[in-house]
Structure 1
């Protein structure tokens, strides 16, 4: 079994508002993510420094232990709070997340510190799997100010998955699943996709 850690600590500077709480078809982005993952994972942890914004969700809320240090600090907080060894980490701005894909990549964590999808040649650290045992490595990176996820990967025994390793998912499905909304234009794009799919 694995847990899910949703990171909702970004500043949303390009969007201008909290991306997690933007609505798509009358449902907030964070609700879409939680509902999609809930059927596949027993434990869902949301890392946020604004817990009052998320009281409506039935998930465990935890704050950053190293505020202001980005996704790596969020990963540290989530892994510390998790009761599972294997954890799927998801960003809060991915409205088309796939529970079945999350479950699949979690199942590939056989002796690895991390399982990192590489889609269209880009590593996807914020929809990936991390083992709880890497906490000391993360703590060392945070203390040294090495905050990039790619720097963390260099210290881990990681499995990288490309499109070829996920043949049951079409390229279009993978691109949609790993899409994240960083600015108003991408938000409108996501709403347009949902409207066309209805």
Structure 2
């Protein structure tokens, strides 16, 4: 596939109280689960993390934010600057049940667009989405104008929004579970229960 995958692990995990990327589910860290799922489809996987030493065990290239303290937008920026491909699917490190099939589909839907963002039950999911190198300058302009929300970026580029209705019949299992993310300890506990089921 002529696209790459980028895992974002630059967050501070302040609500969780510990590094959520390294929390284990069924004996495997969340970030390894993400990497293993993406590896089913993507040969090129890049990690964006500001503390590279913690993630050497993943055996993937690691880059860090080029612009400091700008949130997930800085991670997308660093990933696009470093990735080997113009088109990349980006995934947050706190989503233990991502679907490689969905990641592949989002890439396939990206022709003619700067970004592809799923919208499930009316909620946008910009941290399991496709972004292209064509938006780097727009991101840098967002930094300059202090528009740090990803939504601000999306308002300025050509985005394909994909709803659950458009994903039906695509054989993507448990669609809502795919977008489950862990920010608080109770969400981690729930993830462990889901994984056992």
TM-score range, shorter chain: over 0.9
Distance 1:149 1:132 in 2: 15
- What's the CA shift for 1:170? 7.5
Describe how 1:139-158 pairs up with structure 2 within 5 A.
139-158=140-159
CA RMSD of aligned residues (A): 1.2
Q: 1:168 deviation in Å?
A: 2.6
Is the CA contact 2:10–2:50 (under 8 Å) kept in the aligned structure 1? yes
Correspondence list, 1:32-181, <5 A? 32-168=33-169, 173-181=174-182
Q: What's the CA shift for 1:102? A: 0.2
Gaps of 5+ in 1: none
- Classify 1:59/1:99 alpha carbon distance in 2 versus 1 (closer, same or farther; 3 Å): same
Aligned residues: 196
TM-score by length of structure 2 reads 0.97
Deviation at residue 118 of structure 1 after TM alignment = 0.2
Q: 1:195 offset after TM fit, Å?
A: 1.3
Whether contact under 8 Å (2:87, 2:130) holds in the other structure is: yes
Matched residues in 2 for 1:151 and 1:172: separation? 31
Contact 1:48/1:61, CA 8 A, preserved across alignment: yes
- After the TM superposition, which parts of structure 1 deviate over 6 Å for at least 4 consecutive aligned residues? none
> Secondary structure of the residue that 1:56 maps to in structure 2?
helix
1:114-165 Cα deviation digits (max 9, x unpaired): 0010011001000000111110000110122110000101101110000111
Tell me how far apart the structure 1 counterparts of residues 59 and 120 of structure 2 sit (CA, whole Å): 31
Maintained 8 Å contact 2:113/2:158: yes
How much does 1:82 deviate?
0.7
